[in-house]
C-alpha cells in the first residue's frame, strides 16, 4: 500500500521488508571499505549520525561545507559501488510513487545509535531537484518530522519502521525534515541502531 503523507511524499510501509537482510549485508560490505564516521558540520560540530556512502558520489560535510564528493575523504579512494540490488529497490519504489525511470547514482547511508538525531534541514546538494529521493528505513524505529518549504512551517511526525520506504518527490522534494532522537532499543535485524538508506541522483551528468 501507499499512503501520501503530503503531496509528493509517498509512504510505503514495509515495502522493503523482504529484501532488508540483503540490504543490510551489503551495508556491512560497504562499511568494510568506507567506514561509518561522524562528520563535522561547517560550524565544527560533530554530527550525532554516523555516515558512509556508495555510488559515484558521496555526501560529505567538513569545514568547507556540505557537498557530494567522488572520493571518500578518509581513504582518498572512490566510494564503494552501488549494487544493482540497491538501484532496483529504489527504482521500483520510485515507479510505484509515479517517478518512472529513476536511476540513482548515490546512496547515502546514515547510522543512528540511541540519542542520535538529525535536525530540521532541506536536501539541496543534488543537482536536479526534479529527481525524487527514495528513503529506506531499517532496524530501530524513528520519529520522522516533516514540514514545509519554510523552516518555520508546522511539522507533522510519523514513525518510520524497519522496511518502510518513503519516496520524496515533486512538491515534497525540498520540504524541511528531520529525525527526532532515536530511543534506546534492540532490533533483531540491526541490534542497537537504525540504518537509513537514501537513494539519490547526486549529479545528472554521469
Ligand atoms: C533519515 N535522512 O531518515 C532521512 C531520510 C538525510 C535524511 O534526511 O538527509 O540523509 S531522507 C528524508 C527526506 C529526503 C528528502 C526530502 C524529504 C525527506 N522531505 O521533503 O521531507 O535518515
Ligand atoms: Fe535529509
Local mean pLDDT, 10-residue blocks, the chain (206 residues)? 95 98 98 98 97 98 97 98 98 98 98 98 98 98 98 98 98 98 98 98 85
Q: Does 116 contact ligand 1 (Cβ within 6 A)?
A: no
Q: What is the pLDDT of residue 206?
A: 58
Q: What is the pLDDT of residue 205?
A: 74
Tell me the CA–centroid distance for residue 74 and ligand 1, in Å: 24
Give the CATH number of domain 3-200: 2.60.120.590
Strands 50-55 and 106-112: antiparallel
Closest CA to 97 of 170, 26, 39: 170
Neighbours of ion ligand 2 (CB under 5 A): 123
Domain ranges of the chain: 3-200
Residue having the nearest C-alpha atom to atom 3 of ligand 1: 196
Write out the E strands in the chain.
Answer: 3-6, 9-12, 50-55, 58-62, 65-69, 71-72, 77-78, 106-112, 118-121, 133-139, 142-146, 156-160, 165-168, 177-179, 194-200
Rounded to whole angstroms, the Cα distance separating 36 from 15 reads 25
Tell me the CA–centroid distance for residue 177 and ligand 2, in Å: 6
Tell me the CA–centroid distance for residue 108 and ligand 1, in Å: 10
Amino acid at each position: 500500500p501507499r499512503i501520501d503523507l503530503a503531496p509528493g511524499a509517498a509512504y510505503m510501509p514495509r515495502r522493503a521488508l523482504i529484501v532488508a537482510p540483503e540490504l543490510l549485508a551489503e551495508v556491512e560490505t560497504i562499511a568494510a571499505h568506507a567506514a561509518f564516521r561522524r562528520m563535522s558540520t561547517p560550524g565544527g560540530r560533530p554530527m550525532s549520525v554516523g555516515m558512509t556512502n556508495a555510488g559515484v558520489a558521496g555526501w560529505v560535510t567538513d569545514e568547507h561545507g556540505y557537498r557530494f564528493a567522488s572520493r571518500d575523504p578518509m581513504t582518498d579512494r572512490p566510494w564503494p559501488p552501488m549494487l544493482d540490488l540497491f538501484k532496483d529497490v529504489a527504482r521500483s519504489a520510485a515507479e510505484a510513487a509515479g517517478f518512472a525511470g529513476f536511476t540513482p547514482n548515490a546512496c547515502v547511508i546514515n547510522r543512528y545509535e540511541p540519542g542520535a538525531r538529525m535536525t530540521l534541514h532541506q536536501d539541496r546538494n543534488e543537482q536536479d531537484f526534479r529527481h525524487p529521493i527514495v528513503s529506506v528505513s531499517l532496524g530501530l524505529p524513528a520519529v520522522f518530522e516533516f514540514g514545509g518549504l519554510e523552516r518555520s512551517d508546522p511539522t507533522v511526525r510519523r514513525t518510520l519502521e524497519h522496511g518502510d520506504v518513503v519516496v520524496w518527490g515533486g512538491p515534497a522534494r525540498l520540504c524541511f525534515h528531520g529525525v527526532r532522537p532515536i530511543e534506546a532499543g534492540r532490533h533483531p535485524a540491526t541490534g542497537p541502531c537504525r540504518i537509513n538508506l537514501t537513494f539519490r541522483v547526486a549529479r545528472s551528468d554521469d
